[in-house]
Amino acid sequence: MIEFLNDSVLWWHWIIFGIILLILDMTLATFFILALGVAGITVGVIDLLFASSLTQELLAWMILSILIITGWFKWFRQKPLTQSGQSSYRLDTLGTITQAIEPHSRGKVTFDTPVLGDTTWHATSKIALEANTRVQIVQINGQLIEVEPLHTTA
C-alpha cells in the first residue's frame, strides 16, 4: 500500500490539498487550518523541486505545520497590554477631565488614547477634580473608570 502511495501521490496533490485547506480555513475562520494549508503547499513545492517519498513528505508537512503554528502564536498573536485581564488599556493612560468630578461621584474624562474602545468615559475619583485636570487611570471596574490626578515630579 505504501508503495502505491509513494508512486501515486505527486507534488500537485499536495498543492491541491493545501488549497483545499486554505478554502476550508476561509469558511471556518480558525487560522489553525491555514497553517496546515500553507504547509501542504510548501511540501508540494519542495516535492516538485526535490523528489521525495511519501513518508518524507508527511514528516515535512507535520514539521512545517508545527513550525508555522508555533511561529503564529509567538510572533503574530496580539500581545496583551496589561496583566489585569482588561482588553485595551494601560494604567498609565492619561486623560483630561471634561466634566468636574466630586468625591465618589461621576464626571467625564477624555483620554489621549482609546480605553476599551472609546476615548470619552464616565469616571469617578476619591478626591474632587476640576475640569481640565490631567489624570491617569487607577482602576477599571466594568464600565466605570477610577482616576487620580497626574502626579508630576519637577
Please spell the DSSP secondary structure of 78-89, one letter per residue. PPPS-SSS-SS-
- In DSSP terms, 107 is beta-bridged to 123
pLDDT of residue 61: 94
Please spell the DSSP secondary structure of 83-109, one letter per residue. SSS-SS--TT-EEEEEE-B-TTSEEEE
pLDDT of residue 137: 87
- Taking the C-alpha atoms of residue 128 and residue 136, their distance in angstroms, rounded to an integer, is 14
pLDDT of residue 62: 96
Which mean pLDDT values do the consecutive 10-residue runs of the chain (154 residues) have? 74 92 88 90 94 91 94 75 49 86 90 80 91 89 84 58
The answer to whether the beta carbons of residues 150 and 94 sit under 8 Å apart is yes
pLDDT of residue 152: 59
pLDDT of residue 141: 80
The answer to whether the beta carbons of residues 5 and 54 sit under 8 Å apart is yes
CATH 2.40.50.140 range(s) for the chain read: 94-149
- Out of 1.10.10.10, 1.25.40.10, 2.120.10.30, 2.40.50.140, select the CATH number for domain 94-149: 2.40.50.140
